[in-house]
Structure 1
Amino acid sequence: MEVRYPKVAGTYADPVESLALAFSSGWASGINSYLVVLVLGVADRLGSFGSIPDVLGRWEVLAVAAVLYAFEFVADKIPYVDSAWDVVSTAIRPLVGGVVGVLIAGDSASVDELVGGLVGGGSALASHSVKTGTRMAVNTVPEPFSNIGISVGEDVAVLAVVWFAIEHPYAAAAIAAVLLAAGLVLLWLAWRTVRRGWARFRAWRKRRAGRAGRAGRAGPVGAGEGSGLEQ
């Protein structure tokens, strides 16, 4: 017979706290949705957190989340494979963020489930867009260490924010908002750098092609002059 810790009912009856938790978990879901489910599920089994929906602590949910996280852990650190994985996850991450938001709202009994889903799904879509765009920019650098470092940093941030949000939803939501804003700025700077680099590369190729064209036109003239002298 399975033994579960009793939950403290009403811990997150405050609708603002519920929305804060939905926002934090949504932001984290946009980065790594399977890790979010895994962290919330493990926390649900280890403690009496009334904020965490019971369904996330079920063994079958934890098992599926763990397997999928293992796949993402590897794929997310390989250049170009990570971008392909992000494209596949475009529908999955916001969906998971929305579902978690709906479950949190349903457990709180003080927030409409639609609102919880929109907050969770919206923040997940925003952070996923930042992650996808940033990774595409990083993949223009021909070395794998940037991907590995960024991926590990993302996992640590997701783990820290979600775990912190369980006990301190307001502070975690503020941290998630700052990280989202910082990600948007970083994405803008990264793509600005990529555009400048690409423009310089095209200008260099254009200059090189121009020199090659002038050399090609000068070659036959020189050859003709040489043949005239010989005659």
Structure 2
Amino acid sequence: MLSAISLSAGLAWASGLRLYLTIALVGVCAAMGLVHLPPELAVLASPWVIGAAVVLAVIEFLADKIPAFDSLWDAIHTLIRIPAGALLAAAALGHADPSMQTLAALAGGTLAGTAHLTKAGSRVLINMSPEPLSNWIASIAEDVLMVVGLMLALFLPLVFLVLLISFLCFAGWVLPRLWRGVQGGWRGMATHMLGVEPLGSKHE
């Protein structure tokens, strides 16, 4: 049961960061016999699914390294990553009771959404900087974090679940700050472009 919960949570969380890479890695591990997936997820081991996921993962890897375009990519994938995380989380429980699968889908969507919004919000702030180096560093760090986290979910479930709780606590603290930072950044950009000073400012 611990492994099933870890698989469900791991797929949802990783999907919020890198959906296609998540499917590709889990599919390869299943095809090699390194992990046992429930029948509902057996399709992930299909060569066709793995091949398509690898192609999309490469496209996403490149898109995520382009400043500003990565935020557009994230915005579009808000409609993809969160539902996919919910579906994968529910399917990971196999033949569980329908009420448990519904609960898993809700929790999975929440996990995917939390990971996605944390990633997308931080990247918007980073993209407000004119130099691309910080963007590349953040993107590569996300790639590494997602791969390590998913491997822990597959092979060290207890460790992953403990770290996941820590991530959720961090996300609960940082998301409101990211939102305020993004709002402030957009207001600053609008003020600069329109040449209008914010309310309350005074001319020297």
* Equivalent position of 2:107 in the other structure: 119
- 8 Å contact 1:130–1:184 — kept in the other structure? no
Q: How does 1:52-201 map to 2 (within 5 A)?
A: 53-106=41-94, 109-110=95-96, 112-190=100-178, 195=184, 198=188
Are 2:7 and 1:21 equivalent residues in the alignment? yes
RMSD: 2.8
Deviations 1:68-99 (A, max 9, x none): 11111011111110110011000110122112
2:96, 2:127 → 1: CA distance? Answer: 44
Kindly name which structure, 1 or 2, has the bigger radius of gyration based on alpha carbons: 1
Q: Please, which runs of 5 or more residues in structure 1 have no aligned partner?
A: 1-13, 212-231
TM-score scaled to structure 2, two decimals? 0.81
**Alpha carbons of structure 1 residues 191 and 142: separation in structure 2 relative to 1, 3 Å:** farther
2:173, 2:61 → 1: CA distance? Answer: 25
Q: Residue 20 of structure 1 aligns to which amino acid in structure 2?
A: S
Q: Residue 159 of structure 1 aligns to which amino acid in structure 2?
A: V
- 8 Å contact 2:114–2:171 — kept in the other structure? no
* Equivalent position of 1:50 in the other structure: 36
TM-score scaled to structure 1, two decimals? 0.73
1:179, 1:46 → 2: CA distance? Answer: 30
- 8 Å contact 1:51–1:166 — kept in the other structure? no
1:113, 1:192 → 2: CA distance? Answer: 35
Number of residue equivalences: 193
Identity %: 30
Corresponding residue to 1:36 among 22, 34, 57? 22
Q: CA deviation at 1:32?
A: 0.9
2:156, 2:36 → 1: CA distance? Answer: 13
- 8 Å contact 1:22–1:119 — kept in the other structure? no
**Alpha carbons of structure 1 residues 163 and 142: separation in structure 2 relative to 1, 3 Å:** same
* Equivalent position of 1:223 in the other structure: none
2:117, 2:179 → 1: CA distance? Answer: 13
1:73, 1:62 → 2: CA distance? Answer: 16
Q: Please, which runs of 5 or more residues in structure 2 have no aligned partner?
A: none
Deviations 1:132-183 (A, max 9, x none): 1111111111111111111111111111111111122222122123234334
Q: Residue 127 of structure 2 aligns to which amino acid in structure 1?
A: N
Deviations 1:164-221 (A, max 9, x none): 111222221221232343344344445556639949x856xx54xx35xxxxxxxxxx
